[in-house]
Amino acid sequence: MKKIDVDITKAATLQREFYASKDNFNNTLEKIFSRNWQFITDDYQLKENRSSFPFQFLGDLLPEPLVFINNKGTINCFSNVCTHRGNILINEPCTINKLITCGYHGKQFDTCGKFKFMPKTERMQNFPSRQDDLPEVAVAKWRQFIFSSLDPAIEFNKLIKDVEERVGWMPIEDFKYREDLSKDYYVKASWALYCDNYLEGFHIPFVHADLNAVLDFNSYDVETFKYSNLQLGIASDDDICFDLPIESKDYGRKIAAYYFWLFPNLMLNFYPWGLSVNIITPISVNETKVQFKSYVWDESRLDSGVGADLDKVELEDEQIVQQVQKGVASRFYKQGRFSPTMEKGVHHFHSLISDFMNK
């Protein structure tokens, strides 16, 4: 893959092959997704000591069986595979009674992943060894949200620190998950094209008429950090905005939304009503699952401002992104250029992709 020029005024976008090639898609799974942090769940199902939460790392694409376990308030992550013959140990969220017992041949582990017992091991040599313990996997917790990575290339605090510094004044840990306001979408387009679209406000006047009416398009701004970036939604006229504390960097500004993107596929959208977490999960080279998870802070503001009709905005985004997927597959399309004022976020994203794919 060609490197993206660091100078946005000279740089060209990712080439069409990145969005249309199955080989490139498969390479991203190991080079990007396995080496970065994935949002997995919040701590709702892991509140109690010895509670467990089994999951697959990236669905069916990187179906690594893992399990979170609460050990006296510390969340650990382990391989969910028995070290004897590979059976899956825990199939459903549950509270572990005493030991984790494999349902195949009875091998047992404690909640810290250490081997404890296995029947019929007489005359076994060099047993047990460290290979009999469950491998421990990277885990990180920010507020109530829990993340994991198979082989993290960056420290989690380097990924989240700019979010914490900017919006840490909010009582995020008190935001309540609302299943009735959460939804999954399936988009017939590359996961990266979906992120491209999110990372610029250039398209808003052309695609989102209602959203454009409550945002000050001329005040659009994006700030890039090492592994994340921030788009600031500025309210137009007297539309609803945050009541910012005096210690906020943005005090005095009419902030209607903080749109944070964390590499490679997580969006944290803060509105005066709360938080919409968007997880962008690839399914295939031209299909993507988009999870919207809503965490409410102030229910009285749910139906006003830029965060009032997220479903309508999502459907508009889906329609345009699916058209673009057809376009980038064209033999006549090669690559485009970046608008230096409007596409700094996309340039940042493409640069990170280029860096990871060329390692």
List the chain domain ranges: 16-35+161-357, 38-149
Whether 305 has a pLDDT exceeding 70, the answer reads: no
Q: What is the pLDDT of residues 262-272, one digit of tens each?
A: 999 999 999 99
Q: What is the pLDDT of residues 53-95, one digit of tens each?
A: 999 999 899 999 999 999 999 999 999 999 999 999 999 999 9
In angstroms, rounded to a whole number, what is the distance separating the alpha carbons of residues 284 and 307? 29
The residue among 99, 93, 2, 101 whose CA lies nearest residue 48 is 93
Secondary structure letter of residue 5 according to DSSP? P
Q: What is the pLDDT of residues 224-261, one digit of tens each?
A: 999 999 999 888 777 788 999 999 999 999 898 999 99
The residue among 151, 3, 187 whose CA lies nearest residue 77 is 151
Q: What six digits make up the tokens of 303?
A: 């139906």
Strand 145-149 with 176-187, pairing? unpaired
Strand positions, DSSP E, 81-175: 94-95, 100-101, 108-109, 115-117, 136-142, 145-149
The residue among 231, 182, 211 whose CA lies nearest residue 306 is 211
Q: What six digits make up the tokens of 231?
A: 């788009």
E strand or H helix at 282: strand 274-284
CA trace torsion 357, 138, 277, 93 (10° rounding): 130
Q: What six digits make up the tokens of 343?
A: 């596409």
Query: Which pLDDT value is given to residue 217?
Result: 64
Whether 308 has a pLDDT exceeding 70, the answer reads: no
Mean pLDDT, residues 184-199: 95
**CA end-to-end distance (rounded Å), the chain:** 10
Whether 311 has a pLDDT exceeding 70, the answer reads: yes
Domain spanning 16-35+161-357, CATH architecture: Alpha-Beta Complex (3.90)
CATH topology assigned to domain 38-149: Rieske Iron-sulfur Protein (2.102.10)
* Confidence (pTM): 0.93
Q: What is the pLDDT of residues 194-221, one digit of tens each?
A: 999 999 877 777 777 777 676 666 677 8
Class of residue 198 by CB neighbours under 10 A (exposed 0-12, middle 13-18, buried 19+) = buried
